[in-house]
Amino acid sequence: MKIASQEFLKAIFTLKGNFAQGHVPTRKVFAGVEVAPFKNNAEASVSISGDFEHNWAFRAWPSEVRNLKGTNERANFPYILRLLEEYAIPVTWATVGHLFLESCERGAGGVAHPNMPRPPVNGRFQGDWYTHDPCTNFREDPLWYAPDLIQDIIESNVPHEIATHSFSHIDFSPRYSNRELVQREIEECIRVMEPFSLRPRSLVFPHNKTEYSYAKQLADLNIIALRHRDKKVRLSYPERLEPGIYKIYESMNLRSAGHYDYLDKVKIFVEEAAKRHAAYHIFFHPSDPADLFEDEFRRIVKYLHEEREKRRIWVTTMGELAAYCEARESINLQVTRTQNQMDVIIESSLNKAKFGDPEVSILIPDKIAPNKTLVETNGILQELNRENLYVDDQKQQLLVNVTASSRMIRLLF
C-alpha cells in the first residue's frame, strides 16, 4: 500500500532530516532595485544531471553485469534524449572523457594510454588502471566509446551541457588520487572535447567521492560547478567556494519507490525549494532499467515543464546556474531617478572568459509601467526586446533580463 498523503510523506522526509537548512541567497538590493536570486525571478532553480559512463563506471563488476549496464545505457539514450526534447528540458551530461574518442591504441609494451598517470592506489580491481580498455574503436566496442551519442547531444534542439566525469572515472578521494592525476584527467578531457568545440565547465565526481582540496586546481582549469552530496542538506542555494567555483547540492536521485509515488517526493522537494529560494537537483544513470525512464522520469520531466510554464521554477544546467550566481555576485547597481526617467547603471567584475556573459534578472519597482525600456550594451543604447521584459502586476515590479556585460537600463515614463 502506497502513502497517498503528501503532507504525511513530507513529515516523514522532515523527520529523516531531508530538509536541513542549506545556504540561502543574500539579497542584492540597490535603492529598491534588486538582482533576482534566480533567472526570471523564479522561486527555485531546477537542474538535472546524468552520469554518462557506459562500461567505465562498472569495471570492478563481472563482465556480464558491466556489459549489461553499458548496453542499457546505449539502448535508453535515444528515448531519454527524445523525452527531453519533447519537454525542452536541458540536462548536464556528466561524461567520462574516454567516451569522446572514436578509437585508441595500445602504446609500447601493450599499455593502454601510457601518457596518462595511474591512481596511486587502485582500490577497485586488480591489474593496470586501463586493463579493461579494448583499445579498438566505437564500432567494434561501443560500450567503451560514444562519440556518436555525444554528437546526438550536441545536435539536439535543447541546449544541454556536456560536463566532465573525469577522463577514466577516477576516485577523487585522497587515498586514490593526487594533484597530478586530477590535473591530467581534466586536461585530457579538455583535449578530447576540443574537436567537438566543447570545454568542460561542470564536474561530477565519480562514485560521488567529493574532494575539495582540488577546488583551486579545478577552478584554474575553468571548472565552475561541482555536484555536491551532503548527508543532511538536500536543498541549498549554490555555495560559492573561495576559488570561484560553485557547489550544486544533490537533492535526490532517480529511482522507483515502493511505498509512495516518487513524483510526490519530487513535488514536495520542489515546493520546499521554492519556499526557501533553493536549488533543486536530481540526477540519474542512463544505464538504469528502461521502465524507470518510461514511467518515473517521464512524469517528472512533464511536471517540471508544467511548473516552468507557470514561471515558478527556472530549469537550467549546472554550468548555467553557476554562471548566473557568479554574475549576480559580481554585479553592483547605481540607480538615478528623475520625473520621467530612471537609469540603472550596471557595474560588473565578472570574469567573462571563464563564466561567459549570462543574462541576469533585474527587478525594478513598477507602480507606473514605463513607456519605453532601453538597454546599453557595447556602447549602444537600444530598446529592449519584449521577450526580455516582464511586468508582474501582482508584485508591481518590472523584470528585465540583460546580459551581465550590459552597462545601463533606462526606463522612460
Q: Note the pLDDT tens digit of each residue in 96-127.
A: 999 999 999 999 889 999 999 999 999 999 99
Q: How confident is the model at residue 254 (pLDDT cuts 50, 70, 90)?
A: very high
Quick check: 131 and 148 in contact, CB under 8 A?
A: no
Report the distance separating Cα 15 and Cα 92, nearest Å: 31
- Which pLDDT band holds residue 388 (cuts at 50, 70, 90)? confident
363-387 tens-digit pLDDT:
999 877 788 999 999 899 999 988 8
> pLDDT tens, 276-307?
999 999 999 999 999 999 999 999 999 999 99
Confidence (pLDDT) at 376? 95
Residue 364: per-residue pLDDT = 94
Distance between CA 315 and CA 46 in Å, rounded?
Answer: 5
Residue of 49, 95, 121 whose CA lies nearest to 283: 49
Q: What is the pTM of this model?
A: 0.96
- Alpha-carbon gap, residue 5 to 259, rounded angstroms: 12
Can you tell me the mean pLDDT for 321-340? 96
> Given this model, what pLDDT does residue 249 score?
98
pLDDT for 392 beyond 90: no
- Other C-beta atoms closer than 10 Å to the C-beta of 370 total 20
Specify the pLDDT at position 181.
Answer: 98
Tens of pLDDT, residues 146-176: 999 999 999 999 999 999 999 999 999 999 9
Mean pLDDT of the chain: 96
200-to-21, 183, 223, 318 alpha-carbon distances in Å: 30, 13, 7, 11
* Dmax (CA) of the chain: 80
pLDDT value at 327 more than 90: yes
Mark 43-58 as b/e (b = at least 16 C-beta within 10 Å): bbbbbbbbbbbbbbbb
Other Cβ atoms less than 10 A from the Cβ of 217: the count is 14
> Looking at the predicted structure, is the pLDDT value of residue 16 above 80?
yes
Please enumerate in sequence order all residues whose Cβ is within 8 A of that of 62, keeping only pairs 6 or more positions apart, or say none: none
Closest residue by Cα to residue 200 from 169, 224, 216: 224
CA distance 318 to 323: 9
> What does residue 342 show for φ and ψ, rounded to 5 degrees?
-130, 130
Short-list 149, 79, 91, CA closest to 294: 79
Q: Is the predicted pLDDT of residue 393 greater than 80, yes or no?
A: no
- Confirm if 104 and 113 have CB atoms less than 8 A apart: yes
Assigned architecture for domain 6-26+43-323: Alpha-Beta Barrel (3.20)
Q: Does 339 score more than 90 pLDDT?
A: no
pLDDT at 367: 75
Whole-number pLDDT of residue 42: 97
Q: What is the model's pLDDT at position 333?
A: 98
The 3 state secondary structure assigned to 377-410 is ECCEEEECCHHHEEEECCCCEEEEEEECCCCEEE
Q: At residue 237, does pLDDT exceed 80?
A: yes
Q: How confident is the model at residue 396 (pLDDT cuts 50, 70, 90)?
A: confident
pLDDT at 108: 86
Between these two residues, 396 and 98, which has the higher pLDDT value? 98
Query: 329-412: CATH homologous superfamily?
Result: Golgi alpha-mannosidase II (2.60.40.1180)
Could you tell me if 44 and 312 are in contact, meaning their C-beta atoms sit under 8 angstroms apart?
yes
Residue-range domain boundaries for the chain = 6-26+43-323, 329-412
Q: Is the pLDDT of residue 1 over 80?
A: no
Model pLDDT for residues 19-52, shown as the tens digit of each residue: 999 999 999 999 999 999 999 999 999 999 999 9
| Per-residue pLDDT at 213 | 95
Q: How far apart are CA 284 and CA 167, in angstroms?
A: 19
- Please say whether the beta carbons of 145 and 138 come within 8 A: yes
